[in-house]
Amino acid sequence: MKNVLPILTVVAVIVAIWYVAAIPMNKQWALDQAARADTTLTTGALVLETWSQERPRLPAPHQVVTELWSSTGDLALSGSAFSKRSLILHAWYTLSATLLGFAFGTTLGILLAVGIVHSRAMDMGVMPWAIASQTIPILAIAPMIIVVLNSIGISGLIPKAIISAYLSFFPVVVGMVKGLRSPAIMDLDLMRTYSANQTQTFWKLRLPASMPFLFASLKVGIAAALVGTIVGELPAGAIRGLGARMLSGSYYGQTIQIWSALFAAAILAAILVGIIGVIQRRILKRMGMAQ
Amino acid sequence: MGTWDVTTPVIEAKDLDLTFRTNDGPIHALSGVNLDIEKGDFVSFIGPSGCGKTTFLRVIAGLEHATGGAVSVNGMTPDEARKNRAYGYVFQAAGLYPWRTIAGNIRLPLEIMDIPKSEHAERIARVLELVDLTGFEKSFPWQLSGGMQQRASIARALAFDADILLMDEPFGALDEIVRDHLNEQLLELWARTEKTIAFVTHSIPEAVYLSTRIVVMSPRPGRITDVIESPLPRERPLDIRDTPEFLAVAHRVREGLREGHSYD
């Protein structure tokens, strides 16, 4: 309970700053409207006006929350949770590509890390490419992946998942290389005194020792996977997914829609990271390694 | 095992040399080391840091390889001996794997050495009893004190019935009260199991209290300066350390160490 107060304080401060910021951002439009109607606005009326526009530059928090509710819970209560304008539906499209991409990325990341740790050639040959891959702006490469895959007849979930995997494998590689190399020299010497082979050393020492590193990487990885999916939804003119909602929002100047899709994505990311956190605690506790 | 003669030393080092190549030039870690360790001996290596005592132990274990001379363990090269499970090694820190319980840690060498599963429980119970840790099978290492962890690591080294126990300053990180207690227990364990023990230490009382022979070493290059046969009986209560015999041996070790130091 003690933790709730500081959290609420921070949230309250952010919301307050947000409301205040909305006033100058949306003021001009309100003033123009008033001038056009030949009326003058009192300060109070102006402030209220900036918080209730239909297409504000910066929507006020309650507008975003209302839109979020009307496109999720409200629809669900009225039995149309999976209608076209439901964020639940769009979040599901994004989530499925994210999970697939995350599974790809994690598998690839772990395999690369195992190779890098066991082979000097891979250490020298793969790591620079892995780093280089992340220096290329994903926004530049995402449309190319989608176009190329489309031209060979692959569309829908897979191209988005590949972009998502492209972003999420990297933290897993870096974390797992560090994790698999984390055993102390003494721990490795112990294995040598048993004449253990590489396979035994891997399964009985390196892999268990890497678990805390793996989970830290997975948390970064799943968030990156979600970003990758959303980026993958943007350039193709997609009509499904949270990215598509953001895109169509920006086409039609529906800022409230953009922001609510943004929040839906953030909430989704928080839930995913939270789930990994729970799994992490369970597994590390069972392994006697809980912090 | 046991095709070799009883009088053949268990560990035999002849003109042993080891030079490490480093970026700062070669380091002469061991030079002209000759030593025989008989079956059932408790031999301590003592000397200042850099005298090569740990390196010598690692050469016996096959963790380092001599650049000159020869070592044999049970009549084999150190690498062959290691593959034949000739020795259990106890490190400076307990080095228990934190994700395994105490029983799980002791099971580790049994799993790696393909010892039948049916024997595991019995072996674990037996070695835990030897180090007085019965009842801690399901504990995780962090739940045990430093001294108990080190005892668990000794149990782990005993689990696969090696005849030789190589111990590298196993009690160096523990406080003196715990160390006294563990020394007493180690002697008891040695008497019960009749292992051959090679023990690295930097504590004179520890070396004198435990050993049948004390090997005094000195640095630059690492070499043996004195080998002292202990006149003390094998049965040693803690208060033997106040007897004139004990003090005489301790004095000789101290003299040997001082002599080694006069070179630099």
Question: Model confidence over A75-126: pLDDT tens digits?
Answer: 778 877 777 778 888 889 899 999 999 999 999 999 999 999 999 999 899 9
Nearest residue of B to residue A196 by CA position? B112
pLDDT reading at A28 higher than 70: yes
Q: CB contact, 8 Å: B107 with chain A? A: no
Q: CB contact, 8 Å: B87 with chain A? A: yes
B-chain residues within 8 Å CB-CB of A206?
A: none
- Could you tell me how far CA A24 lies from the centroid of its own chain? 30
Which of A195, A198, A285, A289 to mutate: most B Cβ within 10 Å?
A195
CB contact under 8 A, A289 and B98: yes
Q: A237: pLDDT confidence band, cut at 50, 70 and 90?
A: low
**Pairing of the two strands B11-22 and B25-37:** antiparallel
Query: CA angle, A270 as apex, A266 and A274 as ends, to 5°?
Result: 170
- Could you tell me how far CA B68 lies from the centroid of its own chain? 23
Pull the structure tokens for residue B186: 């180690």
Rounded Cα distance between A283 and A281, Å, is 6
B-chain residues within 8 Å CB-CB of A186?
A: 91-93, 95
pLDDT of residue B1: 46
Say which CATH topology domain B11-86+163-261 has. Rossmann fold (3.40.50)
CB contact under 8 A, B91 and A211: no
pLDDT of residue A76: 78
User: Which of B62, B83, B112 lies nearest to residue A200, judging by beta carbons?
Assistant: B112
Q: B45, B203 in Cβ contact below 8 A?
A: no
Q: B264: pLDDT confidence band, cut at 50, 70 and 90?
A: very low
Residues with Cβ within 8 Å of A167's Cβ and at least 6 positions away in sequence, in order, are: A101, A105, A134, A138, A224, A225, A227, A228
- Give residue limits of the domains in chain B: 11-86+163-261, 97-161
Question: What is the predicted ipTM?
Answer: 0.89
Helix (H, G, I), strand (E, B) or coil at B169: coil
Q: B44: pLDDT confidence band, cut at 50, 70 and 90?
A: very high
β-sheet bridge partners, residue B36: B12
CB contact under 8 A, B63 and A289: no
Among A45-54, A178-187, A233-242, where is mean pLDDT lowest? A233-242
pLDDT reading at A239 higher than 50: yes
Question: The tokens 């910021």 sit on which residue?
Answer: A21
Which strands sit side by side in the sheet containing B25-37, from one edge to the other?
Answer: B25-37, B11-22, B68-73
CB contact under 8 A, A191 and B112: yes
Q: B228, B42 in Cβ contact below 8 A?
A: no
Q: What is the DSSP letter of B39?
A: T
Pull the structure tokens for residue A1: 């309970």
pLDDT above 70 covers a percentage of chain B that reads 95
pLDDT of residue A141: 87
CB contact under 8 A, A190 and B111: no
User: Which of A192, A194, A289 lies nearest to residue B113, judging by beta carbons?
Assistant: A194
CB contact under 8 A, A208 and B97: yes
Choose among A115, A225, A212: nearest CA to A170. A225
B-chain residues within 8 Å CB-CB of A189?
A: 63, 89, 91
pLDDT above 70 covers a percentage of chain A that reads 98
Architecture of domain A87-286: Orthogonal Bundle (1.10)
Pull the structure tokens for residue A51: 């918080």
Mean pLDDT of B196-200: 94
pLDDT higher at A174 or A287 = A174
